[in-house]
């Protein structure tokens, strides 16, 4: 799903940018085979974080680099795991009120106060957790003969 959505996002821009490298990315959070969407409300964020308490959530970030001139693309999915510590209702309420993670899969902003909710993080590319896996992206760009850095 994450890979398909990242390709769809890149393709949606291809008519507007007919001779460009277009990046598409999308992320899916999964807990016990259940997809955790963006909560949109504080109540739903509280519910999601309560479910995540003491558990490990897998984040699957789809990445696509589309060459709109040729129609060819590269795509991949980068996994990243977040283990939440046991969270009290008060901690969850305070966190949601301060960070307002209503537009974030999994109901947290790890680059902000969300880091305080975790016991551990694991994966090859921590930028995947933010929604744009830069290690994979730079590899794709090098495959397009771009010289980095």
Looking at the chain, the whole-number percentage of residues with pLDDT higher than 90 is 93
Q: Residue 149: inside a domain, yes or no?
A: no
Mean of the pLDDT values across residues 2-25?
A: 96
Q: What is the pTM for the complete model shown? A: 0.90
Name the domain count of the chain: 1
Q: Tell me if 10 is assigned to some domain.
A: yes
Is residue 128 scored above 90 in pLDDT?
Answer: yes
Q: Is 67 a catalytic residue?
A: no
Residue 106 has a pLDDT of 87
Domain of 13 in residue numbering reads as 2-143
Rounded-to-integer distance, Cα 126 and Cα 118, Å: 14
We report the CATH number of the domain holding residue 46 as 3.90.950.10
CB 107 within 8 A of CB 48: yes
Q: State how far the Cα of 11 lies from the Cα of 66, in Å rounded to an integer.
A: 7
Number of residues in the chain: 149
The 10s digit of each residue's pLDDT in 47-105 is 999 999 999 999 999 999 999 999 999 999 999 999 999 999 999 999 999 999 999 88
Calculate Rg over the CA atoms of the chain: 17
Assign 12 a pLDDT band (cuts: 50, 70, 90): very high
Residue 111 pLDDT class (50, 70, 90 cuts)? confident
Mean pLDDT for the chain overall:
95
Q: Which of 19, 26, 32, 99 is catalytic?
A: 26
Q: Is residue 148 part of a domain?
A: no
CB atoms within 10 A of CB 133: 27
Residue 110 lies in a domain: yes
Q: Does residue 121 sit within a domain?
A: yes
pLDDT above 70 covers a percentage of the chain that reads 100
């Amino acid at each position: 799903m994450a890979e398909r959505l990242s390709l769809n996002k890149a393709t949606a821009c291809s008519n507007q940018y007919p001779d460009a490298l277009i990046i598409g990315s999308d992320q899916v959070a999964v807990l016990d085979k259940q997809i955790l969407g963006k909560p949109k409300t504080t109540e739903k964020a509280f519910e999601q974080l309560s479910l995540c308490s003491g558990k490990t959530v897998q984040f699957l970030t789809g990445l696509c680099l589309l060459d709109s001139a040729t129609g060819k693309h590269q795509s991949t999915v980068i996994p990243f795991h977040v283990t939440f510590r046991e969270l009290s209702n008060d901690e969850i309420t305070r966190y949601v009120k301060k960070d307002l993670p209503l537009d974030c899969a999994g109901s947290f902003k790890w680059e902000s106060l969300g880091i305080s909710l975790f016991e551990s993080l694991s994966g090859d590319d921590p930028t995947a957790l933010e929604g744009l896996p830069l290690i994979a992206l730079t590899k794709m760009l090098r495959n397009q003969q771009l010289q980095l850095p």
